[in-house]
Structure 1
Amino acid sequence: MAIASINGVRLFYELTGGGEIPLVLVHGSWDSHHDWDLLVPHLTKSCRVLTYDRRGHSQSERLPGQGSVREDVADLAALIEELRLAPAWIAGNSFGASITLRLAGERPDLLRGLIAHEPPLFSLLGGDAAVAPMLEEIRQRVGAVVERIALGDHAGAAEQFADTVALGPGTWARLPREVRQTMTDNAPTFLDEAQDPEQIVFDLEWVQEFSRPVLLTMGDQSPPTFGPVVRKLAQAMPHAEVRTFPGAGHIPHVTHPDAYAEAILAFVRKYS
Protein backbone atom coordinates (compact mmCIF):
# COMPACT_ATOMS: atom_id res chain seq x y z
CA MET A 1 0.00 0.00 0.00
CA ALA A 2 1.34 3.43 -0.95
CA ILE A 3 -0.06 6.87 -0.27
CA ALA A 4 1.00 10.10 -1.96
CA SER A 5 0.01 13.57 -0.83
CA ILE A 6 -1.10 15.25 -4.05
CA ASN A 7 -2.64 18.72 -4.20
CA GLY A 8 -3.62 18.47 -0.55
CA VAL A 9 -5.31 15.09 -0.95
CA ARG A 10 -4.05 11.65 0.09
CA LEU A 11 -4.16 9.35 -2.95
CA PHE A 12 -3.72 5.60 -2.78
CA TYR A 13 -1.69 4.05 -5.59
CA GLU A 14 0.06 0.85 -6.67
CA LEU A 15 3.08 0.68 -8.95
CA THR A 16 3.79 -2.78 -10.34
CA GLY A 17 5.75 -4.48 -13.08
CA GLY A 18 9.35 -4.61 -14.19
CA GLY A 19 8.94 -3.32 -17.72
CA GLU A 20 10.63 -0.18 -18.98
CA ILE A 21 7.48 1.44 -20.39
CA PRO A 22 5.54 3.59 -17.89
CA LEU A 23 1.76 3.08 -18.22
CA VAL A 24 -0.83 4.86 -16.08
CA LEU A 25 -4.40 3.51 -15.84
CA VAL A 26 -7.18 5.96 -14.90
CA HIS A 27 -10.46 4.43 -13.73
CA GLY A 28 -13.93 5.79 -14.36
CA SER A 29 -16.75 6.87 -12.07
CA TRP A 30 -17.90 4.64 -9.19
CA ASP A 31 -14.74 2.51 -9.43
CA SER A 32 -11.28 2.11 -7.89
CA HIS A 33 -7.83 0.89 -8.89
CA HIS A 34 -9.20 -2.65 -8.52
CA ASP A 35 -11.17 -2.01 -11.70
CA TRP A 36 -7.94 -2.90 -13.53
CA ASP A 37 -7.12 -6.10 -11.62
CA LEU A 38 -7.82 -8.47 -14.53
CA LEU A 39 -5.82 -6.31 -16.94
CA VAL A 40 -2.65 -5.49 -15.00
CA PRO A 41 -1.12 -9.01 -15.02
CA HIS A 42 -1.14 -8.92 -18.83
CA LEU A 43 0.85 -5.68 -18.86
CA THR A 44 3.53 -5.97 -16.20
CA LYS A 45 6.11 -7.87 -18.25
CA SER A 46 6.39 -4.99 -20.69
CA CYS A 47 5.26 -2.05 -18.58
CA ARG A 48 5.67 -0.39 -15.24
CA VAL A 49 1.98 0.03 -14.40
CA LEU A 50 0.52 2.71 -12.15
CA THR A 51 -3.03 2.31 -10.86
CA TYR A 52 -4.59 4.60 -8.30
CA ASP A 53 -7.84 5.58 -6.64
CA ARG A 54 -8.93 8.99 -7.88
CA ARG A 55 -9.78 11.52 -5.18
CA GLY A 56 -13.00 10.65 -3.41
CA HIS A 57 -12.83 7.00 -4.44
CA SER A 58 -12.24 4.01 -2.15
CA GLN A 59 -8.89 4.30 -0.35
CA SER A 60 -8.13 7.86 -1.47
CA GLU A 61 -9.28 10.85 0.52
CA ARG A 62 -12.68 12.43 -0.03
CA LEU A 63 -12.71 16.14 0.76
CA PRO A 64 -15.85 18.11 1.67
CA GLY A 65 -17.22 20.61 -0.81
CA GLN A 66 -17.78 20.55 -4.54
CA GLY A 67 -15.07 18.86 -6.57
CA SER A 68 -14.26 19.26 -10.24
CA VAL A 69 -12.79 17.46 -13.21
CA ARG A 70 -10.06 20.10 -13.16
CA GLU A 71 -8.91 18.70 -9.81
CA ASP A 72 -8.78 15.17 -11.23
CA VAL A 73 -6.63 16.39 -14.11
CA ALA A 74 -4.30 18.24 -11.75
CA ASP A 75 -4.04 15.15 -9.52
CA LEU A 76 -3.09 12.93 -12.46
CA ALA A 77 -0.41 15.37 -13.61
CA ALA A 78 1.05 15.76 -10.13
CA LEU A 79 1.05 12.02 -9.42
CA ILE A 80 2.93 11.29 -12.65
CA GLU A 81 5.49 13.92 -11.74
CA GLU A 82 5.74 12.80 -8.11
CA LEU A 83 6.52 9.23 -9.18
CA ARG A 84 8.84 10.38 -11.99
CA LEU A 85 6.99 8.50 -14.70
CA ALA A 86 6.86 11.24 -17.31
CA PRO A 87 6.50 10.93 -20.17
CA ALA A 88 4.08 8.03 -19.71
CA TRP A 89 1.47 6.20 -21.69
CA ILE A 90 -1.95 6.82 -20.17
CA ALA A 91 -5.07 4.70 -20.62
CA GLY A 92 -8.40 5.92 -19.27
CA ASN A 93 -11.85 4.38 -19.15
CA SER A 94 -15.09 6.38 -19.27
CA PHE A 95 -14.71 9.47 -17.05
CA GLY A 96 -11.08 8.45 -16.62
CA ALA A 97 -10.76 8.80 -20.40
CA SER A 98 -12.22 12.32 -20.16
CA ILE A 99 -9.58 13.18 -17.57
CA THR A 100 -6.84 11.71 -19.74
CA LEU A 101 -7.93 13.70 -22.80
CA ARG A 102 -8.01 16.93 -20.79
CA LEU A 103 -4.49 16.21 -19.54
CA ALA A 104 -3.33 15.66 -23.13
CA GLY A 105 -4.55 19.14 -23.95
CA GLU A 106 -3.08 20.81 -20.88
CA ARG A 107 0.19 18.92 -20.32
CA PRO A 108 1.20 17.02 -23.46
CA ASP A 109 4.76 16.89 -22.10
CA LEU A 110 3.62 14.27 -19.57
CA LEU A 111 2.39 11.81 -22.21
CA ARG A 112 4.04 9.45 -24.66
CA GLY A 113 0.59 8.65 -26.00
CA LEU A 114 -2.91 7.85 -24.81
CA ILE A 115 -5.61 5.19 -25.01
CA ALA A 116 -9.16 6.38 -24.27
CA HIS A 117 -12.23 4.15 -24.05
CA GLU A 118 -15.64 5.78 -24.44
CA PRO A 119 -15.28 9.14 -22.68
CA PRO A 120 -18.75 10.52 -21.81
CA LEU A 121 -18.06 13.88 -23.45
CA PHE A 122 -21.63 14.33 -24.62
CA SER A 123 -21.29 18.09 -24.98
CA LEU A 124 -19.52 17.31 -28.27
CA LEU A 125 -22.85 16.12 -29.65
CA GLY A 126 -24.77 19.31 -28.94
CA GLY A 127 -26.85 20.35 -31.91
CA ASP A 128 -26.84 16.87 -33.46
CA ALA A 129 -30.54 16.15 -33.99
CA ALA A 130 -29.86 12.48 -34.73
CA VAL A 131 -28.59 11.77 -31.21
CA ALA A 132 -30.65 14.35 -29.28
CA PRO A 133 -33.34 11.83 -28.18
CA MET A 134 -30.68 9.42 -26.91
CA LEU A 135 -28.90 12.17 -25.00
CA GLU A 136 -32.14 13.29 -23.39
CA GLU A 137 -32.87 9.73 -22.32
CA ILE A 138 -29.39 9.43 -20.78
CA ARG A 139 -29.84 12.79 -19.03
CA GLN A 140 -33.08 11.60 -17.45
CA ARG A 141 -31.59 8.26 -16.39
CA VAL A 142 -28.54 9.89 -14.81
CA GLY A 143 -30.82 12.42 -13.12
CA ALA A 144 -32.80 9.60 -11.54
CA VAL A 145 -29.58 8.03 -10.26
CA VAL A 146 -28.38 11.34 -8.83
CA GLU A 147 -31.70 11.88 -7.05
CA ARG A 148 -31.46 8.44 -5.51
CA ILE A 149 -27.94 9.13 -4.20
CA ALA A 150 -29.10 12.43 -2.72
CA LEU A 151 -31.83 10.53 -0.87
CA GLY A 152 -29.22 8.21 0.65
CA ASP A 153 -29.99 5.06 -1.36
CA HIS A 154 -26.43 4.46 -2.53
CA ALA A 155 -26.78 0.76 -3.33
CA GLY A 156 -29.99 1.33 -5.25
CA ALA A 157 -28.40 4.18 -7.17
CA ALA A 158 -25.37 2.08 -8.08
CA GLU A 159 -27.60 -0.73 -9.32
CA GLN A 160 -29.71 1.70 -11.34
CA PHE A 161 -26.62 3.27 -12.91
CA ALA A 162 -25.16 -0.10 -13.89
CA ASP A 163 -28.39 -1.46 -15.34
CA THR A 164 -29.88 1.62 -17.01
CA VAL A 165 -26.97 3.92 -17.88
CA ALA A 166 -23.60 2.28 -18.40
CA LEU A 167 -23.60 -1.51 -18.57
CA GLY A 168 -27.04 -2.84 -19.52
CA PRO A 169 -30.04 -4.55 -17.92
CA GLY A 170 -29.24 -7.28 -15.42
CA THR A 171 -25.54 -6.38 -15.17
CA TRP A 172 -25.67 -5.49 -11.48
CA ALA A 173 -26.71 -8.98 -10.44
CA ARG A 174 -23.77 -10.48 -12.36
CA LEU A 175 -21.12 -8.18 -10.89
CA PRO A 176 -18.90 -9.64 -8.15
CA ARG A 177 -19.94 -8.70 -4.61
CA GLU A 178 -16.79 -6.63 -4.05
CA VAL A 179 -17.46 -4.59 -7.21
CA ARG A 180 -21.01 -3.87 -6.09
CA GLN A 181 -19.69 -2.76 -2.71
CA THR A 182 -17.09 -0.46 -4.30
CA MET A 183 -19.73 1.20 -6.43
CA THR A 184 -22.02 1.64 -3.45
CA ASP A 185 -19.23 3.17 -1.34
CA ASN A 186 -18.26 5.59 -4.13
CA ALA A 187 -21.78 6.79 -4.91
CA PRO A 188 -21.27 10.14 -3.07
CA THR A 189 -18.37 10.95 -5.37
CA PHE A 190 -20.51 10.28 -8.43
CA LEU A 191 -23.03 12.75 -7.02
CA ASP A 192 -20.18 15.26 -6.71
CA GLU A 193 -19.08 14.62 -10.30
CA ALA A 194 -22.62 14.99 -11.60
CA GLN A 195 -22.92 18.39 -9.92
CA ASP A 196 -19.73 19.66 -11.56
CA PRO A 197 -20.85 21.95 -14.41
CA GLU A 198 -17.73 21.00 -16.39
CA GLN A 199 -18.18 17.25 -16.08
CA ILE A 200 -19.03 16.54 -19.72
CA VAL A 201 -17.71 19.78 -21.23
CA PHE A 202 -14.93 19.49 -23.78
CA ASP A 203 -13.53 21.71 -26.52
CA LEU A 204 -11.97 19.84 -29.44
CA GLU A 205 -9.49 22.67 -29.87
CA TRP A 206 -7.85 21.51 -26.64
CA VAL A 207 -6.51 18.36 -28.36
CA GLN A 208 -6.21 19.34 -32.02
CA GLU A 209 -2.50 20.06 -31.56
CA PHE A 210 -1.75 16.88 -29.61
CA SER A 211 0.94 15.25 -31.74
CA ARG A 212 1.50 11.97 -29.91
CA PRO A 213 -0.16 8.61 -30.72
CA VAL A 214 -3.82 8.24 -29.75
CA LEU A 215 -5.93 5.09 -29.66
CA LEU A 216 -9.67 5.66 -29.23
CA THR A 217 -11.65 2.52 -28.43
CA MET A 218 -15.26 1.46 -28.05
CA GLY A 219 -17.31 -1.71 -27.70
CA ASP A 220 -19.93 -2.78 -30.21
CA GLN A 221 -22.27 -3.63 -27.30
CA SER A 222 -21.95 -0.23 -25.60
CA PRO A 223 -24.75 2.34 -25.34
CA PRO A 224 -25.09 4.05 -28.74
CA THR A 225 -24.18 7.51 -27.41
CA PHE A 226 -20.48 6.68 -27.11
CA GLY A 227 -19.75 5.95 -30.77
CA PRO A 228 -20.53 9.49 -32.00
CA VAL A 229 -18.28 10.94 -29.27
CA VAL A 230 -15.38 8.70 -30.31
CA ARG A 231 -15.85 9.65 -33.95
CA LYS A 232 -15.88 13.38 -33.13
CA LEU A 233 -12.61 13.00 -31.23
CA ALA A 234 -11.04 10.95 -34.02
CA GLN A 235 -11.84 13.64 -36.58
CA ALA A 236 -10.24 16.31 -34.40
CA MET A 237 -7.06 14.50 -33.31
CA PRO A 238 -4.47 14.23 -36.09
CA HIS A 239 -2.83 11.02 -34.89
CA ALA A 240 -5.88 9.10 -33.66
CA GLU A 241 -6.63 5.49 -34.49
CA VAL A 242 -9.99 3.90 -33.67
CA ARG A 243 -10.61 0.32 -32.61
CA THR A 244 -13.90 -1.41 -31.81
CA PHE A 245 -13.96 -4.50 -29.59
CA PRO A 246 -16.50 -7.11 -30.79
CA GLY A 247 -18.76 -8.37 -28.03
CA ALA A 248 -17.49 -5.79 -25.55
CA GLY A 249 -19.21 -2.86 -23.91
CA HIS A 250 -18.19 -0.01 -21.65
CA ILE A 251 -15.66 -1.95 -19.54
CA PRO A 252 -13.56 -4.14 -21.88
CA HIS A 253 -10.74 -4.32 -19.31
CA VAL A 254 -13.17 -6.31 -17.13
CA THR A 255 -15.12 -8.32 -19.70
CA HIS A 256 -12.39 -8.83 -22.33
CA PRO A 257 -9.07 -8.24 -20.54
CA ASP A 258 -7.03 -10.43 -22.92
CA ALA A 259 -8.16 -8.58 -26.05
CA TYR A 260 -7.92 -5.18 -24.39
CA ALA A 261 -4.40 -5.85 -23.08
CA GLU A 262 -3.31 -7.09 -26.50
CA ALA A 263 -4.60 -3.89 -28.09
CA ILE A 264 -2.80 -1.68 -25.57
CA LEU A 265 0.50 -3.53 -25.84
CA ALA A 266 0.39 -3.68 -29.63
CA PHE A 267 -0.27 0.06 -29.83
CA VAL A 268 2.41 0.94 -27.29
CA ARG A 269 5.01 -1.26 -29.01
CA LYS A 270 4.12 0.16 -32.39
CA TYR A 271 5.07 3.65 -31.24
CA SER A 272 7.80 2.91 -28.70
Structure 2
Amino acid sequence: MAHIDGGAVASTEPMEFVQVNGVRLAYEAVGDGPVPLVLVHGSWGSHHNWDSVVPGLVPHFRVVTYDRRGHSDSERPSGQGSFGEDVADLAALVERLGVAPAWVIGNSAGAVITLQLAASRPDVLRGIIVHEPPLWSVLPQGSDEAAACEVVERGPLAEVARRISAGDDAGAAELFVDAVALGPGSWARLPDGMRRTFIRNAPTYLDEQNDPGARTIDGAALARYRGPVLLTSGDRSPPLFRPVLTRLAELLPQAEQVVYAGAGHIPHVTHPEAFVHDVMAFMSRSSSAAHVEARR
Protein backbone atom coordinates (compact mmCIF):
# COMPACT_ATOMS: atom_id res chain seq x y z
CA MET A 1 0.00 0.00 0.00
CA ALA A 2 2.76 2.44 0.90
CA HIS A 3 6.52 2.78 1.21
CA ILE A 4 8.90 5.25 2.78
CA ASP A 5 10.37 7.66 0.24
CA GLY A 6 12.62 10.45 1.38
CA GLY A 7 11.04 10.57 4.83
CA ALA A 8 7.43 10.67 3.61
CA VAL A 9 4.91 7.89 3.16
CA ALA A 10 4.17 7.49 -0.54
CA SER A 11 1.28 5.51 -1.98
CA THR A 12 2.00 2.77 -4.51
CA GLU A 13 -1.60 2.50 -5.70
CA PRO A 14 -1.93 3.13 -9.47
CA MET A 15 -3.47 6.46 -10.36
CA GLU A 16 -6.92 6.64 -11.91
CA PHE A 17 -8.10 9.39 -14.22
CA VAL A 18 -11.36 11.23 -14.75
CA GLN A 19 -12.31 13.85 -17.35
CA VAL A 20 -14.03 16.91 -15.87
CA ASN A 21 -14.54 20.37 -17.35
CA GLY A 22 -12.34 19.51 -20.32
CA VAL A 23 -9.32 18.49 -18.24
CA ARG A 24 -7.95 15.06 -17.25
CA LEU A 25 -7.49 14.79 -13.48
CA ALA A 26 -5.43 12.10 -11.75
CA TYR A 27 -6.89 10.78 -8.50
CA GLU A 28 -6.82 7.97 -5.96
CA ALA A 29 -9.82 6.70 -4.00
CA VAL A 30 -9.02 4.35 -1.12
CA GLY A 31 -10.79 3.00 1.94
CA ASP A 32 -14.18 1.41 2.47
CA GLY A 33 -15.56 3.78 5.08
CA PRO A 34 -19.14 4.98 4.64
CA VAL A 35 -18.26 8.68 4.68
CA PRO A 36 -16.50 10.32 1.71
CA LEU A 37 -13.56 12.63 2.39
CA VAL A 38 -11.75 14.64 -0.32
CA LEU A 39 -8.32 16.18 0.32
CA VAL A 40 -7.24 19.26 -1.67
CA HIS A 41 -3.53 20.05 -1.84
CA GLY A 42 -2.02 23.52 -1.97
CA SER A 43 0.17 25.32 -4.47
CA TRP A 44 3.23 23.53 -5.87
CA GLY A 45 1.98 20.17 -4.51
CA SER A 46 0.25 16.96 -5.50
CA HIS A 47 -1.98 14.29 -3.99
CA HIS A 48 1.16 12.85 -2.38
CA ASN A 49 1.14 15.75 0.08
CA TRP A 50 -1.50 13.76 1.98
CA ASP A 51 0.31 10.39 2.02
CA SER A 52 1.25 10.63 5.69
CA VAL A 53 -2.36 11.03 6.87
CA VAL A 54 -4.25 8.78 4.44
CA PRO A 55 -3.43 5.55 6.36
CA GLY A 56 -4.99 7.01 9.52
CA LEU A 57 -8.12 8.11 7.66
CA VAL A 58 -8.94 5.11 5.45
CA PRO A 59 -10.38 2.94 8.27
CA HIS A 60 -13.13 5.52 8.67
CA PHE A 61 -13.60 7.19 5.26
CA ARG A 62 -13.64 6.72 1.53
CA VAL A 63 -10.61 8.99 0.97
CA VAL A 64 -10.16 10.76 -2.36
CA THR A 65 -6.90 12.56 -3.15
CA TYR A 66 -6.16 14.13 -6.51
CA ASP A 67 -3.73 16.31 -8.42
CA ARG A 68 -5.34 19.65 -9.16
CA ARG A 69 -5.31 20.73 -12.80
CA GLY A 70 -1.82 21.77 -13.86
CA HIS A 71 -0.18 19.74 -11.10
CA SER A 72 1.88 16.57 -11.43
CA ASP A 73 -0.08 13.79 -13.18
CA SER A 74 -3.14 15.87 -14.04
CA GLU A 75 -3.42 17.69 -17.34
CA ARG A 76 -1.87 21.14 -17.62
CA PRO A 77 -4.02 23.19 -20.04
CA SER A 78 -2.47 26.02 -21.99
CA GLY A 79 -3.51 29.60 -21.34
CA GLN A 80 -4.28 31.47 -18.15
CA GLY A 81 -6.12 29.36 -15.58
CA SER A 82 -8.19 30.38 -12.59
CA PHE A 83 -9.16 29.24 -9.13
CA GLY A 84 -12.72 29.27 -10.41
CA GLU A 85 -11.75 26.34 -12.63
CA ASP A 86 -10.28 24.55 -9.62
CA VAL A 87 -13.53 25.03 -7.73
CA ALA A 88 -15.56 23.71 -10.67
CA ASP A 89 -13.17 20.76 -10.98
CA LEU A 90 -13.59 19.87 -7.31
CA ALA A 91 -17.39 20.01 -7.50
CA ALA A 92 -17.37 17.93 -10.70
CA LEU A 93 -14.96 15.38 -9.22
CA VAL A 94 -17.16 14.88 -6.16
CA GLU A 95 -20.22 14.43 -8.33
CA ARG A 96 -18.55 12.25 -10.97
CA LEU A 97 -17.19 9.86 -8.33
CA GLY A 98 -20.61 9.69 -6.68
CA VAL A 99 -19.37 10.86 -3.27
CA ALA A 100 -21.47 14.01 -2.80
CA PRO A 101 -22.03 15.31 -0.24
CA ALA A 102 -18.47 14.91 1.01
CA TRP A 103 -16.24 16.25 3.72
CA VAL A 104 -13.48 18.35 2.15
CA ILE A 105 -10.13 19.29 3.68
CA GLY A 106 -7.97 21.92 2.01
CA ASN A 107 -4.49 23.20 2.78
CA SER A 108 -3.24 26.69 1.79
CA ALA A 109 -4.39 27.33 -1.80
CA GLY A 110 -6.44 24.14 -1.44
CA ALA A 111 -8.12 25.80 1.52
CA VAL A 112 -9.01 28.79 -0.67
CA ILE A 113 -10.58 26.43 -3.20
CA THR A 114 -12.46 24.62 -0.42
CA LEU A 115 -13.86 27.89 0.95
CA GLN A 116 -14.81 29.08 -2.52
CA LEU A 117 -16.64 25.77 -3.01
CA ALA A 118 -18.52 26.32 0.27
CA ALA A 119 -19.55 29.75 -0.99
CA SER A 120 -20.71 28.53 -4.41
CA ARG A 121 -21.72 24.86 -4.09
CA PRO A 122 -22.63 24.04 -0.47
CA ASP A 123 -24.89 21.26 -1.76
CA VAL A 124 -21.87 18.99 -2.45
CA LEU A 125 -20.45 19.39 1.07
CA ARG A 126 -20.97 17.73 4.44
CA GLY A 127 -18.47 20.04 6.07
CA ILE A 128 -15.05 21.61 5.56
CA ILE A 129 -11.67 21.80 7.27
CA VAL A 130 -9.24 24.47 6.06
CA HIS A 131 -5.65 25.20 7.03
CA GLU A 132 -4.21 28.69 6.57
CA PRO A 133 -5.78 29.94 3.32
CA PRO A 134 -3.92 32.96 1.84
CA LEU A 135 -7.15 34.94 1.41
CA TRP A 136 -5.73 38.43 1.79
CA SER A 137 -8.89 39.97 0.31
CA VAL A 138 -10.92 39.31 3.49
CA LEU A 139 -8.71 41.71 5.46
CA PRO A 140 -9.92 45.31 5.85
CA GLN A 141 -8.36 47.60 3.28
CA GLY A 142 -5.81 49.90 4.82
CA SER A 143 -5.33 47.71 7.91
CA ASP A 144 -1.87 46.85 9.21
CA GLU A 145 -2.57 43.20 8.43
CA ALA A 146 -3.48 43.93 4.82
CA ALA A 147 -0.38 46.08 4.47
CA ALA A 148 1.81 43.25 5.77
CA CYS A 149 0.35 40.87 3.19
CA GLU A 150 0.94 43.46 0.47
CA VAL A 151 4.61 43.60 1.48
CA VAL A 152 4.86 39.83 0.98
CA GLU A 153 3.06 40.04 -2.38
CA ARG A 154 5.34 42.79 -3.69
CA GLY A 155 8.49 41.33 -2.14
CA PRO A 156 9.22 37.60 -1.97
CA LEU A 157 6.18 36.47 -3.98
CA ALA A 158 7.00 38.87 -6.79
CA GLU A 159 10.57 37.56 -6.79
CA VAL A 160 9.29 33.97 -6.86
CA ALA A 161 7.25 34.82 -9.95
CA ARG A 162 10.24 36.55 -11.57
CA ARG A 163 12.44 33.49 -11.03
CA ILE A 164 9.87 31.13 -12.54
CA SER A 165 9.49 33.44 -15.54
CA ALA A 166 13.27 33.38 -15.93
CA GLY A 167 13.35 29.58 -15.87
CA ASP A 168 14.77 29.24 -12.35
CA ASP A 169 12.06 26.92 -11.00
CA ALA A 170 14.29 25.43 -8.30
CA GLY A 171 15.36 28.83 -7.01
CA ALA A 172 11.75 30.02 -7.02
CA ALA A 173 10.58 26.98 -5.07
CA GLU A 174 13.33 27.37 -2.48
CA LEU A 175 12.55 31.06 -1.99
CA PHE A 176 8.82 30.37 -1.63
CA VAL A 177 9.36 27.67 0.99
CA ASP A 178 11.96 29.56 3.02
CA ALA A 179 10.66 33.14 2.75
CA VAL A 180 6.88 32.66 2.59
CA ALA A 181 5.47 29.30 3.57
CA LEU A 182 7.64 27.40 6.05
CA GLY A 183 10.51 29.59 7.25
CA PRO A 184 14.27 29.84 6.71
CA GLY A 185 16.08 26.55 6.13
CA SER A 186 12.89 24.57 5.49
CA TRP A 187 13.66 23.82 1.84
CA ALA A 188 16.77 21.85 2.79
CA ARG A 189 14.76 19.77 5.26
CA LEU A 190 12.02 18.75 2.82
CA PRO A 191 12.10 15.19 1.45
CA ASP A 192 13.70 14.91 -1.98
CA GLY A 193 10.42 13.81 -3.55
CA MET A 194 8.59 16.87 -2.23
CA ARG A 195 11.29 19.20 -3.55
CA ARG A 196 11.03 17.56 -6.99
CA THR A 197 7.26 18.05 -6.94
CA PHE A 198 7.66 21.72 -6.08
CA ILE A 199 10.02 22.27 -9.00
CA ARG A 200 7.85 20.29 -11.44
CA ASN A 201 4.75 22.32 -10.56
CA ALA A 202 6.39 25.76 -10.52
CA PRO A 203 4.80 26.85 -13.85
CA THR A 204 1.33 26.28 -12.41
CA TYR A 205 2.20 28.39 -9.37
CA LEU A 206 3.10 31.25 -11.72
CA ASP A 207 -0.28 30.75 -13.39
CA GLU A 208 -1.95 31.02 -9.97
CA GLN A 209 -0.07 34.21 -9.20
CA ASN A 210 -1.41 35.72 -12.42
CA ASP A 211 -5.01 34.85 -11.52
CA PRO A 212 -6.69 37.94 -9.98
CA GLY A 213 -9.17 35.68 -8.17
CA ALA A 214 -6.54 33.60 -6.41
CA ARG A 215 -6.70 35.56 -3.14
CA THR A 216 -10.38 36.52 -3.19
CA ILE A 217 -13.73 35.17 -2.10
CA ASP A 218 -17.34 36.30 -2.04
CA GLY A 219 -17.61 37.02 1.67
CA ALA A 220 -21.39 37.39 1.64
CA ALA A 221 -21.83 34.03 -0.10
CA LEU A 222 -19.39 32.36 2.28
CA ALA A 223 -21.25 33.77 5.29
CA ARG A 224 -24.36 31.93 4.07
CA TYR A 225 -22.62 28.57 4.41
CA ARG A 226 -24.12 26.74 7.39
CA GLY A 227 -22.20 23.46 7.40
CA PRO A 228 -19.56 22.44 9.96
CA VAL A 229 -16.26 24.34 9.66
CA LEU A 230 -12.89 23.76 11.28
CA LEU A 231 -10.24 26.47 10.85
CA THR A 232 -6.70 25.33 11.66
CA SER A 233 -3.31 26.94 11.96
CA GLY A 234 0.18 26.17 13.20
CA ASP A 235 1.81 28.11 16.00
CA ARG A 236 5.06 28.20 13.98
CA SER A 237 3.47 29.43 10.77
CA PRO A 238 4.18 32.89 9.32
CA PRO A 239 1.99 35.42 11.17
CA LEU A 240 0.28 36.71 8.02
CA PHE A 241 -2.20 33.79 8.09
CA ARG A 242 -3.58 34.57 11.56
CA PRO A 243 -5.62 37.69 10.73
CA VAL A 244 -7.14 35.86 7.76
CA LEU A 245 -8.36 33.09 10.05
CA THR A 246 -9.70 35.65 12.52
CA ARG A 247 -11.74 37.28 9.76
CA LEU A 248 -12.99 33.91 8.48
CA ALA A 249 -14.17 33.06 12.00
CA GLU A 250 -16.25 36.24 11.93
CA LEU A 251 -17.80 35.27 8.59
CA LEU A 252 -18.40 31.69 9.78
CA PRO A 253 -19.46 31.95 13.44
CA GLN A 254 -20.15 28.20 13.61
CA ALA A 255 -16.47 27.51 12.97
CA GLU A 256 -14.26 25.77 15.50
CA GLN A 257 -10.56 26.55 15.60
CA VAL A 258 -7.50 24.39 16.28
CA VAL A 259 -3.86 25.47 16.59
CA TYR A 260 -1.26 22.76 16.02
CA ALA A 261 1.52 23.08 18.59
CA GLY A 262 4.97 22.98 17.06
CA ALA A 263 3.59 22.89 13.51
CA GLY A 264 3.58 25.28 10.60
CA HIS A 265 1.93 25.49 7.21
CA ILE A 266 1.81 21.74 6.44
CA PRO A 267 0.78 19.92 9.66
CA HIS A 268 -0.50 16.93 7.66
CA VAL A 269 3.13 16.35 6.62
CA THR A 270 4.97 17.27 9.82
CA HIS A 271 2.41 16.22 12.47
CA PRO A 272 0.23 13.55 10.82
CA GLU A 273 -0.93 11.88 14.05
CA ALA A 274 -2.18 15.16 15.53
CA PHE A 275 -3.79 16.04 12.22
CA VAL A 276 -5.73 12.77 11.98
CA HIS A 277 -6.73 12.97 15.64
CA ASP A 278 -8.15 16.48 15.31
CA VAL A 279 -9.95 15.68 12.05
CA MET A 280 -11.59 12.63 13.60
CA ALA A 281 -12.51 14.47 16.80
CA PHE A 282 -14.08 17.38 14.93
CA MET A 283 -16.08 15.18 12.60
CA SER A 284 -17.30 13.09 15.53
CA ARG A 285 -18.48 16.23 17.35
CA SER A 286 -20.16 17.50 14.20
CA SER A 287 -21.95 14.21 13.60
CA SER A 288 -23.15 14.09 17.20
CA ALA A 289 -24.45 17.66 17.00
CA ALA A 290 -26.25 16.91 13.73
CA HIS A 291 -27.84 13.82 15.27
CA VAL A 292 -29.10 15.79 18.27
CA GLU A 293 -30.46 18.51 15.99
CA ALA A 294 -32.24 15.96 13.81
CA ARG A 295 -34.03 14.50 16.85
CA ARG A 296 -35.46 17.85 17.92
Q: TM-score, normalization: structure 1?
A: 0.98
Report what 1:76 is aligned to: 90
Contact in 2 for aligned 1:94/1:117 (Cα 8 Å): yes
Is 1:61 aligned to residue 78 of structure 2? no
Instruction: Say which of 150, 157, 168 aligns to 1:136.
Output: 150
SS at match of 2:39: strand
1:269 to 269, 274, 284: 284
- TM superposition shift of 1:137: 2.6
Does residue 248 in structure 1 map to residue 266 in structure 2?
Answer: no
2:196 corresponds to 1:196: no
Q: Distance in 1 between matches of 2:140 and 2:194?
A: 33
Q: How does 1:182-261 map to 2 (within 5 A)?
A: 182-261=197-276
Structure 1 residue 128 displacement after superposition: 4.6
The answer to whether the 8 A contact 2:163-2:171 is kept is yes
Cα shift readout 1:83-141 (whole Å, capped 9, x = no counterpart): 00001000000000000000011111100000000000011124253224421331111
Q: Kindly indicate whether the alpha-carbon contact (under 8 Å) linking 1:89 and 1:111 is maintained by their aligned counterparts in 2.
A: yes
CA distance in 2, matches of 1:155, 1:115: 30
Residue 269 of structure 2: SS of its match in structure 1? helix
Say which of 25, 30, 35 aligns to 1:21. 35
User: Do structure 1's residue 96 and structure 2's residue 110 form an aligned pair?
Assistant: yes
Q: Does the CA-based 8 Å contact 1:149-1:188 persist in structure 2?
A: yes
Q: Alignment identity in percent?
A: 56
Q: Which residue of 1 aligns with 2:291?
A: none
Partner amino acid, structure 2, of 1:243: V
Q: More deviation in 200-209 or 8-17?
A: 200-209
Identify the residue that residue 150 of structure 1 maps to in structure 2.
165
Aligned partners of 2:164 and 2:203 also within 8 Å: yes
Matches within 5 A, 1:21-40: 21-40=35-54
**TM-score, scaled to structure 2:** 0.90
Maintained 8 Å contact 2:136/2:146:
no
How many residue pairs get aligned? The number is: 272
Of the structure 1 ranges 60-69 and 207-216, higher mean CA displacement relative to structure 2 is found in: 207-216
1: distance between equivalents of 2:214 and 2:114?
13
Q: Which runs of 5+ in 1 are unaligned?
A: none
Partner of 2:27, secondary structure, is strand
Q: Is the 8 A contact 1:27 1:33 kept in 2?
A: yes
Give the CA deviation at 1:238.
Answer: 3.0
Residue 125 (structure 2) aligns with: 111
Distance in 1 (alpha carbons) for counterparts of 2:147 and 2:124? 38
Residue 267 (structure 1) shift = 1.0
SS of 2:217's equivalent in the other structure is coil
What is the CA–CA distance in structure 1 between the aligned matches of 2:144 and 2:58, rounded to whole Å? 42
C-alpha contact 2:103 2:127 (8 A) present in aligned 1: yes
Q: Could you list the per-position Cα deviations for residues 39-88 of structure 1 after superposition, in whole angstroms to 9, with x for gaps in the alignment?
A: 10010001110000000000000000000000000000000000000010
User: Whole-Å Cα distance in 2 between the matches of residues 225 and 233 of structure 1?
Assistant: 14
- Counterpart residue type for residue 51 of structure 1: T
- The answer (yes or no) to whether the contact 1:23–1:89 under 8 Å persists in 2 is yes
Counterpart Cα distance in 2 of 1:115 and 1:212: 11
Give deviations 1:207-237, integer Å, cap 9, x for gaps.
1111110000001111101010001001111
SS in 2 for 1:131: helix
Q: Which amino acid letter does the alignment assign opposite residue 80 of structure 1?
A: V
